Each structure stands twice: as structure tokens, then as C-alpha cells.
Amino acid sequence: MSKYYIPTGKFSPTSFIYFGLASFILLPILALLYTYLVWYIPFIYINFFITAGFGFGAGIMISYFSIKLGKVRNPKVAAILGLLGGLIALYFSWVIWVDLVFNIGESYGTDRIGITTSNVKFKELLELAFQPGFLFDTILEINKVGTWGIRTATVSGTLLFVFWFIEALIILVIATILPYFSSKKPFCEFNNEWFKEIKLPSFNFIEDTQSIISSLESNDRNSFDTIESESNSENKSHSIFTLYSSQKGESYLSIENKLASINDKGEVDFDNDEFIEYIEISTELKDKLFTIKN
């Protein structure tokens, strides 16, 4: 019998109801915020992070409302829902963006950098949302001339399609991955609920990862003898233990090493390595973890 948690592959039909509610109530609001931000912030590097944030926002919404509330324990189904959610969020952002183009107002700035004012009209948004053919034809026409530029050159045609492709890829990949991993977290089929997730205070960095993996797999009662609390985790290499517990008394553990390094700006960065994920531990080892914590 495996010592590691394996999702059962089950899911609740209500997950699709939650998915619909999130997709057509929350994602349009998120898309509105995202599209206005990229419209009014004329810095492509900042927009890259905003796009990633949009993907994270969509993925988190699907993860919580569809996967967690809908109790999806099937990673494939979760990934499909995440991908569909990402596509829906992207579609709404296109609807809003095209309507902003339709309602372009005054431009401010210089030839090198500037913004153009615009605001959406609710009626037009509804019309665009229900006319995908017209929407995509309009996008193709806009692509021919472009609406923004780099330095003094307007981005259009093939180059603009490349930017759009990269934007879509960022959003869809992140929106797909988050629900996928959420569905793999331990779930108690007996109580029909997710395990309680507890992130423990930082412990010392684990050098010999293979040793602790072997100890935990053999349920060695001395598995945590070399583990100590780490109070200076903000500036020093350390490890993070995440405990998953059910009311039935079952417990799973994930351990992540965080290796500290100094970047070019003199700031501390961490390289993450989750070297063990969702391994079952005994009540004795679980209690020992809390003893170390205290």
C-alpha cells in the first residue's frame, strides 16, 4: 500500500454549478479590472506581471469555487475546468478590450509614451459577448493597424499576434495549473471533506533529503530527531512543513526546502524544492512535529 496520498478521481456534479457561477459572475469582474489596468498602464514589463496576476486570479477563483467547494479530486477534470476558466476569462478580457477600442477618447503623453482614455459601455459589452464571430473579425481588423507601440513604432500584424499569443499562454497555463494542483491535495472520503491544512513554523534546512524521505517511508519514530525550529527564516535557508489532518485521525505531510541566496540587488532570494509531498505519517510523528514547534 502506498505511503503517499493518491486522489481518488472522484468529483461532485455541483462543481460544474460552482464553475458556472465563478466563470460568469467573478471572472468578468476580474477581466474588467485586468483589461483596464493593461489599457491605462503603458509599460509592457509591468503589463507582463499584470497578465500573470490575471492568470493567478482566474486560477485561484476556479480552484476555490469549483475545485474546493465542488470537491473535485480528479486532477484531469480540475485541469480541464482551469483551462476552460482561463479561456472564459480571456474571452471576457477581449470583449472589454475591443469595446475600449470602440470608445477611444483623448490621447495624452508623447510619441514615446502615453495613454488614451476610454470607457466601456455595458450594452455594447453584452452585444459583443454574444457575437463571437463579429468580435474576432474586429480583432483581426484591429491587428492590421494596432493600438499601441514600442518607442515610436506601432505594434501590429504578426508581431502583435506574437504578443497576444504570449499573453494567452501565460493566462491559460497558470489558470490550468492551479486547479490541477488544488485537486491533488488530501481529501477525506469518509467525512467527505478536505483535510485541514496547517503550515508549521519554519524548521532548519534539510541537507540530507533522501535520509528523511527513507525514514518517513519506513515510519521511523526518529524521523524528526535532526529537525529544529528556525527563527531567522526571512534571511536564512530553512524548510517548511505543511501538515494535512482529517477528523478521522489520518495525517499527511509535505516538506519544502527553501535555499537562500543573495541576488544582484543584495536582497535574499529563495530557491524552492518540495522534495516530499503528501506522505502519510503516524499520530506519533504528527505529535512530535508539534513538540518541535513549541
Query: In terms of domains, do 19 and 126 share one?
Result: yes
> Does residue 263 form part of some domain?
yes
Instruction: Kindly report the average pLDDT of the chain as a whole number.
Output: 91
| CB-count exposure of residue 195 (10 Å: 0-12, 13-18, 19+) | buried
CA within 13 Å, CB half, 219? 10
> Does residue 279 form part of some domain?
yes
User: What span, in angstroms and rounded, lies between the C-alpha atoms of 17 and 69?
Assistant: 10
Number of independent structural domains in the chain: 2
> Does residue 242 form part of some domain?
yes
Query: In terms of domains, do 207 and 118 share one?
Result: no
Instruction: Among 140, 155, 182, identify where a domain stops.
Output: 182
- Reported as a single tens digit per residue, the pLDDT across 36-85 is 999 998 788 899 999 999 999 999 999 999 999 999 999 999 999 999 99
Query: In terms of domains, do 169 and 23 share one?
Result: yes
Query: In terms of domains, do 242 and 262 share one?
Result: yes
- Reported as a single tens digit per residue, the pLDDT across 150-180 is 555 667 788 889 999 999 999 999 999 999 9
User: What span, in angstroms and rounded, lies between the C-alpha atoms of 3 and 197?
Assistant: 18
Q: Residue 203 is inside which H or E element, if any?
A: strand 203-204
Query: In terms of domains, do 144 and 225 share one?
Result: no
Residues found in the chain: 294
User: What span, in angstroms and rounded, lies between the C-alpha atoms of 103 and 200?
Assistant: 52
Instruction: Among 135, 156, 182, identify where a domain stops.
Output: 182
Q: Structural domain of residue 224, as residue ranges?
A: 189-293
Query: In terms of domains, do 242 and 273 share one?
Result: yes
Q: What confidence score (pLDDT) does residue 265 get?
A: 86
